[in-house]
Structure 1
Amino acid sequence: MPKRYPWNQTDTNEGSWEKTYLRYLMNDPAGEVYRLLPDEIVELAVPVIKQTANTYDGSNTIIETEDKFWIKSEKELYGRNIFSAPGEGHWYEYYRQEDVPWGKKRNGSDEYTLLRSPNYGTSGYFCYVDANGTASADTAGDSLGLAPAFCI
């Protein structure tokens, strides 16, 4: 992606991934990220069910969304919950391998990369991967690197 994106336009994780500004940008045909995706990928990508916890109200209930494009959860990337609530999918086989890049690069340098998971126990943070591959969390309005995921 040519620039960094926030999860939301304000510092809240209310509504979890389902209600994020970023999800709109990625899945609505009028969304900025959707319009940047190659036509071949848009045509081949199929919607899948993604699970994300609602940490905003402390319930940690799992919300299911149907997405053609998404960003990984902390569990899908690391295989465990570090800053996120449990129940957000399964560890992707690809990331179980050694020496697999966890985030994305911009101009040849590793970049902080957004994750779908709201930060467990807070109402304003989401999880991300720092430039060294370490799990962390940041305010929902901050802009970080975006590595869209999809299924064909």
Structure 2
Amino acid sequence: MKTPAGALVPVDSESQELLGKLPVGQGLRGKYSRARNLQFHRKMFALFKLAFDAWEPDDSMQYKGQPVAKDFDRFRKDMTILAGFFNPVVNVRGEIRLEAESLSFASMKEERFEQVFKAVLTAVWTRVLQTAGYRNEQEVERVLEELLRFEQ
């Protein structure tokens, strides 16, 4: 996001993490896109974070003797896929896999993003938040609005 002073600053944790890895004064080159609705984008990621924090996977799971950790990016992609927004791909073993559609500003128009949000809200509520004690999707939306007000 461009500040009144003309500086560019990160708008989300992903951007902040990327910029945090760069040394001060490092020049950047890249493609940019105008944000569709930054507040709505933040609301989507607040929904993912709320659900991720409430999600309690089986902590006894292991893979080849190693404990399996929950991962925010995997969770976000899984919820997007469960909401019905994915692309089927094939891997080198000939297996079909589902990849979540990108939620980036450049890859999705506002109207489509609104559809994705509604479907993700339903998937997240059904799979996670309903068992975490939320009464309905409207309550989840109220909590998200409060969280976003608190962030500002």
Q: TM-score, normalised by structure 2?
A: 0.25
Larger Rg belongs to: 2
Per residue, is there more strand in 1 or in 2?
A: 1
Per residue, is there more helix in 1 or in 2?
A: 2
Q: TM-score, normalised by structure 1?
A: 0.25
